[in-house]
Amino acid sequence: MIRLLLAEDQGMMRGALALLLGMEHDMEVVAQVGRGDEIVDAALLSRPDVALLDIELPGRSGLDAAADLRTEAPDCRVLILTTFGRPGYLRRAMEAGAAGFLVKDGPVEELAASIRQVLRGETVIDPALAAAALSAGPNPLTARERDALAAAVDGATVADIASALHLSESTVRNYLSSAIGKTGTRNRMEAVRAARRQGWL
């Protein structure tokens, strides 16, 4: 029996996947969580063979949780299942030691097949996405540029970002300006969108 952990914030999606996978004759869902910061605890408790993780979760990113599992539960393989096939996400997933990366498009049959594949020690990635991730190159933004950009997502002013990051307003503007330059965009919002599309956020 393949023991599965399911981490997904949308209740209906989580429930549907759990029912479907539970119907496979060789699988059972031994844990379900809706938050990223519950993944490690649940994994330690229920000892799954494969953890199916969404990326964008409340509490803690699925990518961070994947890295945690690498050290806390090394014999649990991680399969990332996400809505967005962003190149940067794929790259970070691989660096976090994930064994596979699936997008939520594509047929459901793909899911069970990929789980078995991962359990056999193979790595499963959408070829087109892998090509995009390689051609895009690594994240050119520095840590602070990312911080500034991330703090700017919801329309915060320079003053807001500066106080949130304990920086001077001038510094914040310099970071934003260089981030805008590196993304080849015209203003803060375009830079944010470009960075998110690449999975750099």
Partner DNA sequence: CGGCTCCCGGGACATTTGTCACGGCCAGGT
Partner DNA sequence: ACCTGGCCGTGACAAATGTCCCGGGAGCCG
**Minimal distance, residue 168 CB to a copy of itself, in Å:** 21
Q: Which amino acid is at 34?
A: G
**What Rg value do the Cα atoms of the chain yield, rounded?**
19
> Rounded to whole angstroms, how far apart are CA atoms 154 and 162?
14
184 is an interface residue for a copy of itself by CB under 8 A:
no
Sign of CA dihedral 111, 105, 63, 137: positive
Helix, strand or coil, per DSSP, at residue 5: strand
**Minimal distance, residue 76 CB to DNA, in Å:** 32
104 is an interface residue for a copy of itself by CB under 8 A:
yes
> Rounded to whole angstroms, how far apart are CA atoms 137 and 12?
36
Contact range with a copy of itself by CB under 8 A, out of 9-17, 50-58, 93-101, 133-141: 9-17
193 is an interface residue for a copy of itself by CB under 8 A:
yes
Q: Which of 180, 195, 199, 200 binds DNA (CB under 7 A)?
A: 180
Contact range with a copy of itself by CB under 8 A, out of 37-45, 71-79, 120-128, 191-199: 191-199
Q: Which of 8, 38, 68, 145 binds DNA (CB under 7 A)?
A: 145
Q: Considering CB distances under 5 to 8 angstroms, the limit depending on partner class, which of a copy of itself, DNA, none binds residue 192? A: a copy of itself
Helix, strand or coil, per DSSP, at residue 54: coil
DSSP 80-103: EEES---HHHHHHHHHTT-SEEEE
Contact range with DNA by CB under 7 A, out of 11-19, 41-49, 83-91, 179-187: 179-187
